Structure 1
Amino acid sequence: MKILHLNPKNITTLPAHTLTIGNFDGVHLGHQAMLTALKKEAHSKGLATAIMIFEPQPREFFNPNNPPARLTSFDEKLTLLDEFGVDFIIKASFNDEFRQLSAHDFANMLNALGTRHLVLGDDFRFGHDRTGDKYFLTTLGFSVESLATIKINETRVSSTAIRQALSLGELSHAKELLGRDYVMTGQVIHGDKIGRILDFPTANIQINRLKPALHGIFGADIIAHKDGQLIDLYQCHQTGIKGLTPYSLFGAVNIGTRPSINGTQYRLEVHLPKFSGDLYGLTLTVIFTKYLHEEIRYPNLESLKAGIQKDVNELLAWQDTHF
């Protein structure tokens, strides 16, 4: 899979291809159906496959101070999309210049890229005047396949529905719409060491998004990577508690702003019970398995420590019943 950084003023022409366009936030079952159709159409027409995605996502651009929660970072998207064997990712920087493109300008850009066929959602629109759609493209000589929205148990599969499920801690419903457990991945970085003061050391993980899609206290399976290689933390250190997922350790997770210490920035922090080892520089994948409760504002550090201990005990008890 090759990545092209799109410059509307200096377009690199790709091999003739079938293209789909969107945010692909979450790469959920609806997106997966789109990707399956993309590959099928490309194969039947003898074309390469390409996906155009926007960074930042348009709603993040228009409202940076109160952006929508984001399901996947750009790197997480790439990892998920790579599983489908797509030939090209076209990364379009969504900025003032890009959003001012008219429908005709946008179509001309697609033609210059080498787009011959498109697979689009039935509600897709483009151009700053919103006049671009399937019918507009066909008048300009493109062939277009339009896919209807997928529903599961009467729920429309969408990034919005998944955000709503995660905001309520409904991990099983989010899993239904995603087709997999919800995960976040990031590198372990230095934090403020408050966990050590409380005798609950945590790994502070980069969230790589303006606002995460879930908040609160969770149980999770934690998988470690370094330079793209899987690391079995239990085998390396002989400490920690094995998770439900192969090669994982169980973790107690806090994701949010940490109101007990008057925090304002979103943090993703993982405590690995009974684990001893250096995690700095590793990339950790957090597989969310159990929602416990929302963040609580404790009156002091002593109460916070007692609350964390209670949460860890409850999550460990849940973990024991699922082995």
Structure 2
Amino acid sequence: MEVLSDIAVCPRPPEGTALTIGAYDGVHLGHRAVIATLKDRARERGLKTAVVTFDRHPASVVRPDSAPLLLTDLDQKLELLADCGVDYTLVVHFDEVRSKEPADEFVNEVLAGCLNARLVAVGEDFHFGHRRSGDVNLLRAMGSDLGFEVVGHDLIGLDGQASATPVSSTRIRAALRDGDLDGAAAMLGRHHEVRGVVGRGDGRARELGYRTANVGVPEAICLPRDGIYAGWYLGADGMRRPAAISLGRRPTFYEDAEASVLEAHLIDFDGDLYGQSARVQFVQWLRDEVKFDSVDALVEQMGRDVDQARTLLAAL
């Protein structure tokens, strides 16, 4: 997949493209259904395939106080789109100027001008442009003049069929907030993953007897609800290791911690991870985070958590 980031130097494939547009946060099963339709239609017509997405969620510019947390950062989104097998992904810089662009200008500049669109596939509820003035009807009207067909895709449920309760990024975020990892994974088609850099913690590893990688996840990324989890840790060496994961505010030691901390204990591993990039995948919820009466009681429970995580992950 070729990643394009400058509209002014787009390749404008002479054979034309079949493309889709959207935030594509999470690249979930609904997104993949649209891309599958796109690829089928492109194959029939000998077109290249393209996804038009944005370098940030448009809501972070249009309504920053209520913008959703992200299921994927830009790098992960591009990796997932590449896995879908599209030829191009155009990453449009989204800022205040772009947010005020009329929908028809976006179509002329990006779809027809940059990518030479011959087919556009979007969800039937798709909106774009200033004040969400663009929709499927506008695309169809402009497509008749500019030479592209528009396919309005039904919203897809978990069974891959049209559904009144479709898979969506909003539903996935809600499942994660509820600690419903199975529900989130079913809609994503994979375990929810977050990424960050390993930093230094508060130095309690020796006291507790369990070393952890403290992964600094950007504030804009969606985390599951606080709790203890079994999951996978993917480090800079490319290895996937089982982990017992603590996500929370460490109430045994702190009364009023402002933010949740992600700590991953890599099971049966001892090594220096500071400063390295890490990916953490949440597989199964084990228990709520609780305040213990003593450090000894916490350590005993941590031992049980690690054993449970080891057993669960070994069976996968």
Asked if Structure 1 and Structure 2 have the same fold, meaning a TM-score greater than 0.5 normalized by the shorter chain, the answer is yes
Partner of 1:112: 113
> Is the CA contact (8 Å cut-off) linking 1:183 and 1:287 kept in structure 2?
yes
Partner of 2:86: 86
Which of 10, 13, 16 does residue 12 from structure 1 map onto?
10
Helix, strand or coil at the partner of 1:225: coil
Helix, strand or coil at the partner of 1:146: strand
Residue 156 in 1 paired to residue 150 in 2? no
**How many angstroms does 1:222 deviate by?**
2.0
Which of 119, 124, 127 does residue 126 from structure 2 map onto?
124
**How many angstroms does 1:65 deviate by?**
5.0
Partner of 1:143: 149
Letter in 2 for 1:166: L
Residue 175 in 1 paired to residue 185 in 2? yes
Letter in 2 for 1:111: A
**How many angstroms does 1:50 deviate by?**
1.1
**How many angstroms does 1:82 deviate by?**
1.2
Partner of 1:251: 243
> Is the CA contact (8 Å cut-off) linking 1:55 and 1:92 kept in structure 2?
yes
Distance (whole Å) between structure 1 residues aligned to residue 113 and residue 50 of structure 2: 14
Partner of 1:102: 102
Name stretches of at least 5 consecutive residues in structure 1 with no aligned partner: 232-247
Q: Report the number of matched residues.
A: 299
Give the TM-score taking structure 2 as reference length. Answer: 0.83
> Is the CA contact (8 Å cut-off) linking 1:120 and 1:147 kept in structure 2?
yes
Partner of 2:225: 215
Q: Provide closer, same or farther for how the CA distance between residues 130 and 287 of structure 1 changes in structure 2, counting only shifts above 3 A.
A: closer
Letter in 1 for 2:246: N
5 Å-filtered alignment, 1:1-323, equals: 1-7=1-7, 10=8, 12-15=10-13, 16-65=16-65, 67-109=67-109, 110-114=111-115, 115-141=117-143, 142-152=148-158, 155-196=165-206, 198-216=208-226, 217-226=228-237, 230-231=238-239, 248-258=240-250, 260-261=253-254, 262-296=256-290, 298=291, 303=294, 306-307=297-298, 309-317=300-308, 319-320=310-311, 323=315
> Is the CA contact (8 Å cut-off) linking 2:195 and 2:217 kept in structure 1?
yes
Give CA deviations for 1:80-116 in whole Å, capped at 9, x if unaligned.
1111121111112221011001011111112111222
Stretch deviating more after TM superposition (187-196 or 280-289): 187-196
Letter in 2 for 1:119: A
Distance (whole Å) between structure 2 residues aligned to residue 163 and residue 4 of structure 1: 28
> Is the CA contact (8 Å cut-off) linking 1:69 and 1:211 kept in structure 2?
yes
Helix, strand or coil at the partner of 1:26: coil
Distance (whole Å) between structure 2 residues aligned to residue 258 and residue 214 of structure 1: 16
What percent of counterpart residues are identical?
34
Partner of 1:239: none
Give CA deviations for 1:235-285 in whole Å, capped at 9, x if unaligned.
xxxxxxxxxxxxx32211123455553433453221124421112344433
**How many angstroms does 1:189 deviate by?**
3.5
Give CA deviations for 1:14-73 in whole Å, capped at 9, x if unaligned.
323111111111111111111111211222222211111122202223444554232111
Distance (whole Å) between structure 1 residues aligned to residue 268 and residue 309 of structure 2: 17
Distance (whole Å) between structure 2 residues aligned to residue 162 and residue 50 of structure 1: 25
Helix, strand or coil at the partner of 2:194: strand
Distance (whole Å) between structure 2 residues aligned to residue 66 and residue 304 of structure 1: 39
Name stretches of at least 5 consecutive residues in structure 2 with no aligned partner: none
Q: Provide closer, same or farther for how the CA distance between residues 317 and 258 of structure 1 changes in structure 2, counting only shifts above 3 A.
A: closer
